[in-house]
Structure 1
Amino acid sequence: MRPFAYVKPADVEAAVRAAGEPGAKYLGGGTNLVDLMREGIERPDTVVDVTGLPLDGVETSPGGGLRIGALVRNSALAADRLVRARYPVVSQALLSGASGQLRNMATVGGNLLQRTRCPYFYDHASACNKREPGSGCDALEGFNRGCAILGVSGSCIAAHPSDMCVALAALDAVVEVRGPDGTRRVPLADLYRLPGDTPQVETTLAAADLITAVELPPAPIAANSRYRKVRDRASYAFALVSVAAALEVRDGTVTGVRLALGGVAPKPWRAREAERVLLGGPAHEAAFRRAAEAELAAATVREGNAFKTGLAVATITATLRDLNEGAAR
């Protein structure tokens, strides 16, 4: 590991100033950054440790939403009474990710900013436009079983790894960011960039921008929500396909729906087309399948990940069916 300077700022303003220096990186739980430093992929000159900042609370916001500090640990958020009652899909997503030990260390802000990656990202002998811009992408014709099928480009087909972010995307979460020019609020949908020709640029944040909180708006529909994750093994594995869904049904008609997908795109994927097809239509399995097929119609598949299209359709359908049955009880 390369030598680096270590800074632990006393407040948010000092953290932003320190991170504005060339080669600086924020450190939260370190569950992604430290791995990447060990592998020689991230090479910061200065590590700005923000774990001492007062950003670790979960509070009710005006109107009935939640404000979640960026340094809340994943395990603490999953267990939070308000999250479990109002937004069960968030708790379920968190508990399906990583291991208990990692959840105890990982922070909400760090989860949002973990690198989108495939196996070639770690392999210095392979071509990876994300690791070395302009070098190519060996995943295109190589081992791409876990790679994305929506929102991809000829430069990168890596899939976003987070479970939590899929649930947040379904709930229209907003990210609070402190930068050199003050505080701003960024809808989660606008935080991430698709790869295009610059897959190394994954978010819309500037270098010194510090995520300070995540806001969940009031969402009564979230009381009937669920996260379903399909993976190769029962624990400690990224999703092949995951679904975060919330459903509201009245008299057999879909009156509200929120749907986001994981494991299939370079960012948490809000399934807007499926939502459009579902809203105002009948709440039955055939309709759920038609909506899922409409969302996946835009998929771009490779030999190794072509199965994800059918798997995503089946997972969406099953998740909505279960929510519909639960709403009818």
Structure 2
Amino acid sequence: MKRYSVTTFVLVVLALVFYPPQFSKSGGALGQRRRTRNPPSQTPKKTAVDYSRFSHATKEHTEACKTCHQSPTANSVKVRGFPDVADFPDHNACVSCHRQQFFKGVQPIICTDCHTKTSTRDDERWEFRNPKRPQQFTIEFPHDKHQDVIASLRLRPATSVRGFIKSAHAADDRTRKYNNCTICHAHPRAPVAPPGGWTDGFVPAADTFKSAPTGHDMCFNCHWQGQEPTRQNCAGCHKLLTAPYVRVESPKRYSMKFRHEGGGANHIAECTTCHINITKASSLSGLKPDVPITSCATTSCHNNPAKHEEIFGELAQLDKDKQFVCSYCHTSNVGKLDAPPSHYLAVERQPLKRTDLK
């Protein structure tokens, strides 16, 4: 048995020495390599397009707005009361690119972008702009430029004012409205309740919030055709967003109990007396019309020992009870938070947190 093993070993060595081409480096005989099969190539599937959701971000939809939209639309005076863009583009704006989708089936899904029903007998359309759809644009409105223009009009003769802006908006020398914020923010608007209801059940009065422009009626007084951006240059104000958003109609305010008209005679003043940051803003993006606490905590207002000491008084209550909820200006969702350092500094005190109190 031992001799047989030695003989086998010698034969293997001789074979490797005299016949090396017959074996591969891996030890296997040549000609016996495994065949590797390449997997069949797969073409990546294209993402299905949802034609019921029109997107301005699509490359083909990024041309100038007037390519599809008309200004004014035929129904604008009836719907808005003035020449405006008040309707969706006509069918030819869609068919020029989407003829296949436009005539696909009895009820083409692409029709639901504009129409409430997909029927040849019903031409009813959604309100333009459809409030149920996310907004795809933001508005860049430069308060700083408009404030400068309005202020400069006060120095011109009345005739030039009427030539530039409607006489109803002309500055009245008998009033102290130097920046004329009330041209656009004139009337109070009833606030819309947030989804979860009003905090503490406190419903703000109708005159709590000023109105804000929701259309082109204010803009077209100047920007119809003479002053850029005109009605044909939508992109001058409307900037496409990277991600659409749903607008929240309910107001967000830290001092929910403040009222412009109902807070006494001291609150009826030139807007920029308190809103000192607005006239510097070059865009509505990220704009917060916050009023610095220093506007409230002057010796003639809410830091007056003889009349009003609301800020000092509530901070004193907080010193006694760290669970105290400030309620003169705020509802409990804000009043239970730490008082901002600005409140302490306004009454010449070192800022404290509730955790610092005993």
TM-score tier, shorter chain, comes to under 0.3
- Relative contact order, CA 8 A, sep 6+: which one is greater? 1
The TM-score with structure 2 as length reference comes to 0.24
State the structure with more CA Rg: 2
